[in-house]
Amino acid sequence: FMGRYNDDFDDGEDIAEFDDNDFAEFEDVSEDPAVDVEKEPPPRAAPSSTPIEDDEDEATVENEDGQDEFEDADAQDQDMYSKYDNEEFEGYEKTNPSFKDTLIYREVPAHLQNSWESYYMEILMVTGLLAYIMNYIIGKNKNSRLAQAWFNSHRELLESNFALVGDDGTSKEATSTGKLNQENEHIYNLWCSGRVCCEGMLIQLKFLKRQDLLNVLARMMRPACDQVQVKVTLNDEDMDTFVFAVGSRKAMARLQKEMQDLCEFCGDKPKSGAKYGIPESLAILSEMGEVTDGVMDNKMVHYLTSHADKIESIHFSDQFSGPKVMQEEGQPLKLPETKKTLLFTFNVPGMGNTSPKDMDILLPLMNMVIYSIDKVKKLRLNREGKQKADRNRARVEENFLKQTHTQRQEAAQTRREEKKRAEKERIMNEEDPDRQRRLEEAAQRREQKKLEKKQMKMKQIKVKAM
Amino acid sequence: MTANNMADPRRPSKIFRYKPPNTETNPTLEDPTPDYMNLLGMVFSMCGLMLKLKWCAWIAVYCSFISFANSRSSEDTKQMMSSFMLSISAVVMSYLQNPQPMSPPW
């Protein structure tokens, strides 16, 4: 029985000798089944339980040459130590033998990988930027070609009508530059001047923002079209006093709300022009019937009818001051400056899908503009019409003055107070005490005079009332 | 002679020079997009730099591109270039500090 307490023995042949009857009473009755059971854990546990049990028995168990040795070791162990009790493995989960299970490949987190694929967001971003740049170049070129095509087709007409075609305002001499001003990648200007019946004409080619990818995408939701805006400014003698507009119904409704003069002078809702023969898609805003009769002659009606799809709005006004400006609080209102103007807004057909060839289609519209300039010069209201127009203008001015009365009073009050304060400061700053005294006296006398004047006025009013 | 004058509407004596419209009195005429985008771009670059957020820096780059595309010819190129450089530096700094790829928000 030395062997029983001898940890070092590992001789399998000695097993039988240790079935000692002396210690039979200490042995488990259920040894045999226990043996079988206990045989199992070690082989399984052996490879993975090495960290758990650090005995020499482990050393024998670790030897993986074959099952035989395990079994031998088992027999020894059981008899000697009953080490591999089932209870010992209670908390320990028996993992299935790895021989039958498939290996699970855990994914390495993206940031620990070292491949380009993990940077897919960055690649996406850069691709987006490249797409934006490509679109910028393509859009810019397209707009530039459209502008040039427009100018080429209209150049002859303009040069035969205006002495100055193309001016950017910077050169010393007033010579025609003969080319468009580029304001933006999508807006081109052309200033023409030197003609009878007008001061000058500013043409703005307002193309779509083809150079901005965001805008291109937005336009896929909400289609829009290129526009050509013509603004003719006139001298006083070139136009009589009237306000008139014709255009698509939507445009007329919008302009009536937005434009200062249309709002004040053309109070009625936009009317249909069917009685003159123009299509139903167009509506008219007019100061008075006589004006409409005067403007809508045969040629004008012909122009409007044949190009109704391209006309957004036509606005003739002697009181043009632009859109209504939002007045800020505390700023005294001044009657906005007006200028006699003819405004034309044309839509380029194609809803954005225009090609340079389409620019020729707009040529008749420019003819209409020239015709209108000459016509407006000749259009004069009769006596009745003139009186009505004058009354309208007087009315508008009066309304304006009434509205701003309180504001102007306040402004005058503040100005007076400012003056007083400045005066007092001057007196204070005066170093010479004599002069100081004299200035003070002068100020006092002025105050006195003012007070007396006021009193006189009040007395007069009282007398009148009586 | 007179017939010629009447037929030809041009009058060199009646030439007026071009005056660019005064946008101070009429602010509705101006397109605010390039200015907004410029400001947005700068705000995003600052966020990207300070808070070390990569996506902020990328959006800043986009904003400065959009601002450039919508800008007027009369505008200062220095302003455009400075906002552009700022956004590029925001992107570069974010990656130098943290070379991990950007994770999508979903």
Which residues on chain B are in Cβ contact (under 8 Å) with A168?
A: 18
Who among B9, B70, B104 is closest to A121 (CB)?
B104
Would you call A201 helix, strand, or coil by DSSP? strand
- Substitution target in B5, B15, B53 with the highest count of A β-carbons within 10 Å is B15
Is pLDDT larger for residue A90 or for residue B19? Answer: B19
Q: What is the pTM of this model?
A: 0.71
For residue A67, what pLDDT is reported?
47
Residue A340 distance to chain B (closest CA, Å): 15
Is pLDDT larger for residue A295 or for residue A5? Answer: A295
The count of structural domains within chain A is 2
On whether both A460 and A364 belong to a single domain, the answer is no
End residue of a domain, out of A356, A385, A414: A385
For residue B2, what pLDDT is reported?
47
Is pLDDT larger for residue A344 or for residue A175? Answer: A344
Strands A339-347 and A227-233: antiparallel
Query: Taking the alpha carbons of A282, A287, A288, A293 in that order, is the dihedral positive or negative?
Result: negative
pLDDT-derived band at A32 (thresholds 50, 70, 90) equals very low
**B window 7-46, beta carbon within 8 A of A:** 8-20, 25-26, 28
| Residue A98 main-chain phi, psi, to 5 deg | -70, -5
On whether both A437 and A379 belong to a single domain, the answer is no
End-to-end CA gap in chain A: 148
Task: Report the C-alpha gap between B90 and B42 in whole angstroms.
Answer: 10
pLDDT digits (tens, 9 = 90+) for A410-455: 888 999 999 999 988 888 887 778 887 888 888 889 889 989 998 9
Query: Taking the alpha carbons of A62, A67, A68, A72 in that order, is the dihedral positive or negative?
Result: positive
Which residues on chain B are in Cβ contact (under 8 Å) with A180?
A: none
Who among A183, A195, A214 is closest to B66 (CB)?
A214
* Tokens 């632009």 sit on residue: A322
Residue A446 distance to chain B (closest CA, Å): 39
Q: Which stretch, A77-86, A94-103, A354-363, has highest mean pLDDT?
A: A354-363
Establish if A49 belongs to a structural domain. no
For residue B42, what pLDDT is reported?
94
A285 pLDDT higher than 90:
yes
Which of A21-35, A168-182, A187-201 has the least mean pLDDT?
Answer: A21-35
Sequence-ordered list of residues with C-beta below 8 angstroms from that of A175, at least 6 positions apart, any chain: A164
End residue of a domain, out of A323, A351, A385: A385
Average pLDDT over residues A83-112: 65
Report CB contact under 8 Å: B17, A174.
yes
End residue of a domain, out of A385, A419, A443: A385
Sequence-ordered list of residues with C-beta below 8 angstroms from that of A256, at least 6 positions apart, any chain: A262, A263, A266, A269, A270, A285
Which residues on chain B are in Cβ contact (under 8 Å) with A174?
A: 15, 17
Residue B71 distance to chain A (closest CA, Å): 7
pLDDT-derived band at A66 (thresholds 50, 70, 90) equals very low
**By C-alpha distance, which of A151, A368, A385 is closest to A247?**
A368
On whether both A367 and A441 belong to a single domain, the answer is no
Q: Where are the alpha helices (DSSP H) in A20-103?
A: 31-39, 41-49, 56-62, 67-81
Which residues on chain B are in Cβ contact (under 8 Å) with A160?
A: 8, 10
Q: Which two tokens stand for residue A361?
A: 């289609």
Establish if A87 belongs to a structural domain. no
Establish if A27 belongs to a structural domain. no
Centroid of chain to Cα A95? 61
B78 touching A, CB under 8 A? Answer: no
pLDDT digits (tens, 9 = 90+) for A199-256: 999 999 999 999 999 999 999 999 999 999 999 999 999 999 999 999 999 999 999 9
Average pLDDT over residues A316-335: 77
On whether both A155 and A293 belong to a single domain, the answer is yes
Q: Which domain holds residue A129?
A: 123-385
A372 touching B, CB under 8 A? Answer: no
On whether both A208 and A341 belong to a single domain, the answer is yes
On whether both A380 and A440 belong to a single domain, the answer is no
Report CB contact under 8 Å: A132, B103.
no
pLDDT-derived band at A92 (thresholds 50, 70, 90) equals low
**By C-alpha distance, which of A88, A82, A216, A228 is closest to A146?**
A228
On whether both A264 and A355 belong to a single domain, the answer is yes
A282 pLDDT higher than 60:
yes
Which of A37-41, A315-319, B37-41 has the least mean pLDDT?
Answer: A37-41
Sequence-ordered list of residues with C-beta below 8 angstroms from that of B17, at least 6 positions apart, any chain: A167, A169, A174, A193
Sequence-ordered list of residues with C-beta below 8 angstroms from that of A210, at least 6 positions apart, any chain: A135, A138, A139, A140, A142, A143, A186, A216
Who among B9, B69, B72 is closest to A195 (CB)?
B9
Sequence-ordered list of residues with C-beta below 8 angstroms from that of B43, at least 6 positions apart, any chain: none
Which residues on chain A are in Cβ contact (under 8 Å) with B56?
A: none
Contact B46, B57 (CB under 8 A): no
On whether both A370 and A436 belong to a single domain, the answer is no
B98 pLDDT higher than 80:
yes
For residue A145, what pLDDT is reported?
95
Task: Report the C-alpha gap between A3 and A207 in whole angstroms.
Answer: 104
Establish if A44 belongs to a structural domain. no
Is pLDDT larger for residue A281 or for residue B3? Answer: A281
Average pLDDT over residues A337-352: 92
Q: Which two tokens stand for residue A34?
A: 């226990």
Q: Which two tokens stand for residue B98?
A: 């943290």
Which residues on chain B are in Cβ contact (under 8 Å) with A119?
A: 101-102
Establish if A339 belongs to a structural domain. yes
* Tokens 């044309």 sit on residue: A346
Which of A11-25, A41-55, A141-155 has the least mean pLDDT?
Answer: A41-55
Establish if A287 belongs to a structural domain. yes
On whether both A360 and A458 belong to a single domain, the answer is no
Q: Which two tokens stand for residue A69?
A: 């040795």
Q: Which two tokens stand for residue B70?
A: 């919508």
On whether both A362 and A452 belong to a single domain, the answer is no
Average pLDDT over residues B61-74: 92
For residue B82, what pLDDT is reported?
92
Average pLDDT, chain A: 81
pLDDT digits (tens, 9 = 90+) for B16-46: 999 888 766 666 677 889 999 999 999 999 9
CB atoms inside a 10 Å sphere around CB A409: 11
Average pLDDT over residues B82-104: 90
On whether both A351 and A213 belong to a single domain, the answer is yes
On whether both A305 and A162 belong to a single domain, the answer is yes
